[in-house]
């Protein structure tokens, strides 16, 4: 969209239908062009495995259409208009970025100190059969619910020696890990996904309020957009894919029934034909040092469990405190949650979780203060 439009825009592409005038006084190219930016971002991400660069390329391509096919203007707009305004237009967006950074730092300290590794290692003595090995892989994915990327890297790398010893195919391990990481992060009350989800919910409700003719309905939508976390809580029972994905993993593990190519992969691994296909091209280790815990220091599970528990407790407590302050005296729990400030609560929680993680590993001399801050 162009910022100012005084006359109808004539597209240089003659085969396209004429552009339409949008309600916000901007020219919008119709048709399939609107699908190109997200498709380009997805395709580039699959090819290059560089998500940030691919996302920026998608933004740039969309800006190119808006900037009347001027590549220089599109580049400048991508940075000074779209990226900057996405943060500046709402304090909630800045809060989500801070929450994600703080939570990511906490995960980094937990992993670097060996706490996360210790939490998963505590399950190893119980994983003595193929069924138990797969079940504890699933259980470890449930425990590390706060971020899907951390979940994939930590659980996959830690449980792989166990499942390899138990002759679980790499295909099955990948399925269990992948079908636990993102679904769990999507429905957990505290995760890096939740911040992003409630931002989308709030923006969508506010946008929808401007499209309805009924003033009462518009007011209800605007009121709901003020607390998207409450809407998210009510939507959890309807998140069918994450819930069913988690349950289906348990079903396949408990019943030991696999289907199609997965069944063939499991039969190959059990028969000694290899944990992966002979022609498989194994991806390089992308852990980026996440699992590089000190070898000469103990891997204590509570160095991961305590910061996570602090984060969850503070977030839930913050929701209650902010909601109680905003609600009428004598309000019920649902009203209190509905009036809460989830962004403030998430920032409190992730900040105190980060501080707890750093202080614990520094106090035990597992990491120096400098090493802990660098891991954060």
pLDDT per residue over 157-166, tens digit each?
777 778 888 8
Q: pLDDT digits over 334-372, tens only?
A: 667 666 777 788 788 888 888 888 888 888 887 777 777
Q: What is the pLDDT of residue 153?
A: 67
Q: What is the pLDDT of residue 105?
A: 82
Kindly state whether residues 133 and 264 are assigned to the same domain: yes
- Of 73, 89, 105, the residue at which a domain comes to its end is 89
- Of 89, 110, 125, the residue at which a domain comes to its end is 89
Q: What is the pLDDT of residue 250?
A: 92
- Of 51, 66, 89, the residue at which a domain comes to its end is 89
Q: What is the average per-residue pLDDT within 145-169?
A: 76
0.75 exceeded by the pTM? Answer: no
Q: pLDDT digits over 204-231, tens only?
A: 888 888 887 777 778 877 777 777 777 8
Residue entry with tokens 């994983």: 127
Burial class from Cβ neighbours inside 10 Å (0-12, 13-18, 19+) for residue 355 reads middle
What H or E segment, with its residue span, contains residue 225? helix 215-225
Tell me which long-range contacts 59-63 makes (C-beta under 8 A, separation of at least 24).
59/83, 61/36, 61/37, 62/36, 62/37
More confident residue, 315 or 249: 249
Residue entry with tokens 């391990």: 173
Kindly state whether residues 281 and 354 are assigned to the same domain: yes
Polymer length in residues for the chain:
376
Cβ 151 vs Cβ 132: under 8 Å: no
Query: Would the pLDDT of 243 be above 90?
Result: yes
Query: Would the pLDDT of 92 be above 80?
Result: no
Q: pLDDT digits over 102-117, tens only?
A: 877 887 888 788 887 7
With H, G, I as helix, E, B as strand and everything else as coil, classify residue 28.
Answer: strand
Task: Report how many domains make up the chain.
Answer: 2
Kindly state whether residues 79 and 142 are assigned to the same domain: no
Domain-located, residue 10: no
Instruction: Name the nearest CA neighbour of 107 among 299, 242, 307, 275.
Output: 307
- Across all residues in the chain, what is the average pLDDT? 77
More confident residue, 312 or 260: 260
Kindly state whether residues 170 and 295 are assigned to the same domain: yes
Q: What is the pLDDT of residue 337?
A: 67
Kindly state whether residues 139 and 63 are assigned to the same domain: no
- pLDDT-derived band at 78, boundaries 50, 70, 90: confident
- Our measurement of the distance from residue 149's CA atom to the centroid of its chain's CA atoms, rounded to an integer in Å, reads 7
Tokens of 295: 């070898």
Q: What is the average per-residue pLDDT within 14-29?
A: 44
Q: What is the pLDDT of residue 23?
A: 42
Range of the domain at 85: 20-89
Domain-located, residue 207: no
Instruction: Name the nearest CA neighbour of 51 among 148, 122, 176.
Output: 148
At residue 21, φ and ψ (nearest 5 deg) are -90, 120
- pLDDT-derived band at 292, boundaries 50, 70, 90: low
């Amino acid at each position: 969209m162009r910022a100012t439009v005084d006359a109808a825009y004539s597209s240089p592409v003659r085969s396209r239908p004429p552009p339409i005038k949008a309600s916000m006084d901007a020219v919008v190219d119709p048709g399939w062009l609107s699908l190109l930016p997200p498709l380009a971002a997805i395709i580039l991400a699959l090819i290059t495995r560089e998500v940030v660069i691919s996302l920026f390329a998608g933004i740039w391509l969309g800006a190119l259409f808006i900037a009347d096919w001027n590549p220089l203007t599109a580049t400048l707009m991508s940075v000074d208009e779209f990226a900057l305004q996405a943060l500046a237009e709402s304090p909630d967006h800045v809060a989500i970025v801070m929450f994600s950074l703080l939570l990511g730092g906490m995960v980094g300290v937990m992993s670097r100190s060996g706490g996360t590794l210790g939490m998963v290692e505590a399950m190893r003595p119980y994983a003595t059969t193929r069924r138990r090995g797969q079940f504890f892989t699933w259980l470890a994915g449930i425990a590390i619910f706060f971020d899907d990327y951390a979940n994939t890297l930590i659980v996959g790398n830690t449980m792989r020696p166990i499942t390899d010893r138990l002759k679980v195919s790499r295909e099955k391990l990948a399925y269990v890990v992948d079908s636990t990481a993102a679904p769990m992060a999507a429905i957990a009350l505290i995760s890096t996904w939740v911040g992003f989800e409630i931002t989308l919910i709030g923006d969508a409700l506010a946008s929808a309020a401007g499209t309805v003719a009924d003033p009462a309905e518009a007011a209800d939508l605007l009121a709901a957009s003020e607390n998207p976390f409450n809407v998210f809580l009510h939507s959890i029972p309807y998140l069918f894919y994450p819930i069913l994905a988690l349950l289906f993993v348990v079903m396949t593990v408990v019943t030991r029934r696999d289907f199609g190519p997965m069944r063939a992969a499991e039969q190959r691994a059990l028969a000694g034909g290899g944990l992966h296909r002979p022609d498989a091209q194994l991806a390089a280790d992308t852990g980026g040092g996440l699992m590089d815990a000190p070898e000469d220091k103990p891997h204590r599970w509570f160095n991961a469990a305590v910061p996570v528990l602090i984060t969850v407790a503070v977030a839930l407590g913050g929701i209650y405190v902010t909601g109680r302050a905003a609600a009428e005296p004598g309000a019920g729990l649902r009203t209190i949650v509905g009036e809460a400030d989830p962004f403030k609560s998430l920032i409190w929680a992730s900040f105190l979780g980060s501080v707890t993680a750093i202080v614990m590993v520094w106090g035990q001399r597992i990491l120096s203060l400098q090493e802990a801050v660098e891991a954060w």
